[in-house]
Amino acid sequence: MSLNKLFLNLPIARKLLLVSGVPVLAVLILSLVTYRSVQTFSLDEDRLNDVYLVQSASAEYMRLVVDLETGFRGFILTQKAPFLQPYLAARQRVLLLGNSLRQMVRSVEDQRQVIETVQGMVEQLMNDKDRLIERVKAGFPQEATDYVESEKGRILMLAIREEMARFDRREVTQLQHALGSSAADRAALMGVVVWGGSLALILLLVPLHLIARSITGPLTTLVKAVENVSGGNIPNIPVFQRDDEIGELTKVMQTMGTQIRNHIRRIEQSEQELRTLNQDLTSSEAKYRGIVDYAPIGIFTAKKDHLIFSNRQNWVLAGRNPDEVLDPEHMWEAIHPDDREGVRETFQDACHQSEPFERVLRFLHPDGAVRKVLCRAVPIQDHGGQTMVYQGFNVDITALEHMRAQLNRSDRLATLGQMAAGIAHEIRNPLVGIGSTTTLLMEDFPDGDSRHEDLVTILKETRRLDRIVNQIVDFARPRDLLPVTFQLQDLVLESLQVLNEPIKQKAIQIEFHPPANLNSIQADRDQLKQVLLNVIQNAVEAMSEGGCLRLSVEEETIERIPGLRIKVKDNGKGISPSALPRIFEPFFTTGKHRGTGLGLPICRNII
């Protein structure tokens, strides 16, 4: 087996692993060589740094030696202590710096010997100068002057400078050598990086190219085999005699092509049978297309104005149990009696004319609840244009109608608010004037005078008109809630105490037994008190003497929100059924000669 054949039979994962090993090995060797070069370059940098430190210390050393000579001469010439400070400062540091230089060059024997020689000269120079300074301080300056004029110190200084100059020349030579070595190492490092990287890249690209050819070549052949087939035929896939994934892929594709051709032949054989079956299914699909039993809207089907189907939601809208087996025709019985005949006649006319049907109707539930729905039905026709069935939908618009009523009520309240503002402005001022004038006139007539009684009547009616104006303004005014926490039974007892006088006058019996440990509530206490006063006062006025007024408070939870329910029950004459729907309308009253008809509407606004 040839090497190329062996390579092609390897799985693609192994090919990639084999190919990636060559550049990885090259990169590893390159990394080792680069690391060695970097180490050598780092050593060169350290040598340059050492030379720089030595030269800096040498220059500082010579500066201190010069300071010794300068300070000494200044003191000898002036014999003043301040001029001796440079000498003393240099004397403290020069020997320490010399020892540091000797440590820096301890590995270079010639340089170390030079520093030791210079250090000895400096010590001799300092000893001579210390002795002469002491003589000057003792009052014998002539010895120091003779020393200076004999130039012994200058000669010693020249010797020190010559030794240090020889030391600096050797350091410059070492610096040049270190720079040359660093440049050579830098060039070697760049060569290793550039040429080694290029070699690693070549070793990576060449094997990848071989793998790409081993994969893209067969794929290109497969693409050409597919593109050359026309007319919707299934192509014959060539099989490559390889043991890798490409060879397995061609074998699988050939098997799949054979299976597809067999399936197509079977499909063509059954196509005629499917056409016949589809014609039957089309009729059934047109009949049941829009029926969804658990849709969130009511759905019904009618044929020749007779209901033949009604889904679950439609029965719920009608107030019936959807789990019971009911005849769809019973849906007519659930329509409100006032709407039933009109809806049925309109629907029959639409069916006879094959026209869409749409109407708003009401369902009357067995418990007396009313649901208002929008009913819409459309004819479903066959291919010949004949109406097969009517498909209808019922949409619950009860909430929408309630929202519309709320909006209308808000509009009426806004209009009433404007009217109340006008009434308050136009009536209150004259009423105040009438009441004040009447009070003054009453002082001019005795109590028994008929005119005094007339004035009393005028004052009462004036106050009544003012109370009516206040109720109108109070009804139309927006209310801000001021919730507090309190016990509801305490508020009921407080309200009964306020109405205690009319209750005693009619000898009304009060029954109120709140349960123990009743929870407190959070609400606007003053507004809730106004509601209780209005309701209890209406009950008292509706009862004859000796009546019974029953009040109860019980806990109740609505939509997982705990609360309290208050019930007020009296044995008065009650409200007629015809007047009951209007009791919350503003200014509507039932037989109360002095009532304004705003008590219950105000209560409703508060609640």
pLDDT tens track for 356-377: 999 899 999 887 788 889 999 8
Q: Which residues contact 223 (CB under 8 A, 6 or more apart)?
A: none
Give the pLDDT band of residue 233 (cuts 50, 70, 90).
Answer: low
pLDDT at 484 over 80: yes
Lowest mean per-residue pLDDT among 8-17, 49-58, 89-98, 439-448: 8-17
- CATH of region 289-396: 3.30.450.20
- CATH of region 403-475: 1.10.287
Quote the pLDDT of residue 528: 86
Residues of the chain with CATH 1.10.287: 403-475
**How far apart, in Å, are the Cα atoms of 320 and each of 329, 367, 492?**
13, 11, 41
Task: Establish how many alpha carbons lie within 13 A of residue 216's alpha carbon, considering only the half-sphere containing its beta carbon.
Answer: 6
Q: Where are the alpha helices (DSSP H) in 105-151?
A: 109-137, 142-149
pLDDT at 551 over 80: yes
User: Average pLDDT for residues 379-400, to the nearest whole number?
Assistant: 84
pLDDT at 288 over 60: no
Q: One-letter amino acid identity for 531?
A: V
Quote the pLDDT of residue 325: 62
pLDDT at 594 over 60: no
**Strand, helix or coil at 458?**
helix
Give the pLDDT band of residue 243 (cuts 50, 70, 90).
Answer: low
pLDDT at 78 over 60: yes
User: Average pLDDT for residues 583-598, to the nearest whole number?
Assistant: 64
Quote the pLDDT of residue 375: 92
Q: Mean pLDDT: which of 87-96, 216-225, 336-345, 442-451 is highest?
A: 336-345
Determine the distance from the C-alpha atom of residue 389 to the mean position of all C-alpha atoms in its chain, rounded to a whole number.
51
Handedness of CA 390, 395, 397, 400 (dihedral sign): negative
Quote the pLDDT of residue 86: 80
Quote the pLDDT of residue 604: 74
Quote the pLDDT of residue 370: 86
pLDDT at 275 over 80: no
Give the pLDDT band of residue 327 (cuts 50, 70, 90).
Answer: confident
pLDDT at 290 over 60: no
Give the pLDDT band of residue 540 (cuts 50, 70, 90).
Answer: confident
pLDDT at 218 over 60: yes
Q: One-letter amino acid identity for 323?
A: D
Architecture of domain 24-210: Up-down Bundle (1.20)
Tell the CATH topology of 480-574: Heat Shock Protein 90 (3.30.565)
Quote the pLDDT of residue 402: 73
Lowest mean per-residue pLDDT among 54-58, 147-151, 183-187: 183-187
pLDDT per position as a tens digit, 493-529: 888 888 888 888 888 898 888 888 888 888 888 888 8
Higher pLDDT, 217 or 31: 31
Lowest mean per-residue pLDDT among 178-187, 344-353, 419-428: 419-428
Give the pLDDT band of residue 6 (cuts 50, 70, 90).
Answer: low
Lowest mean per-residue pLDDT among 90-94, 139-143, 399-403: 399-403
pLDDT at 82 over 70: yes
Residues of the chain with CATH 3.30.450.20: 289-396
Residue 486: what are its φ and ψ, rounded to 5°?
-155, 170
User: Average pLDDT for residues 529-549, to the nearest whole number?
Assistant: 86
Quote the pLDDT of residue 279: 72
State the Cα–Cα distance between residues 83 and 89, nearest whole angstrom.
Answer: 11
pLDDT at 22 over 80: no
DSSP summary character for residue 216 = H
Q: Which residues contact 601 (CB under 8 A, 6 or more apart)?
A: 475, 584, 585, 586
Higher pLDDT, 73 or 418: 73
Residues 590, 599: contact at Cβ < 8 Å?
no
Of 347, 343, 341, nearest to 360 by C-alpha is 343
Q: One-letter amino acid identity for 423?
A: I
Quote the pLDDT of residue 412: 66
Residues of the chain with CATH 1.20.120.1730: 24-210
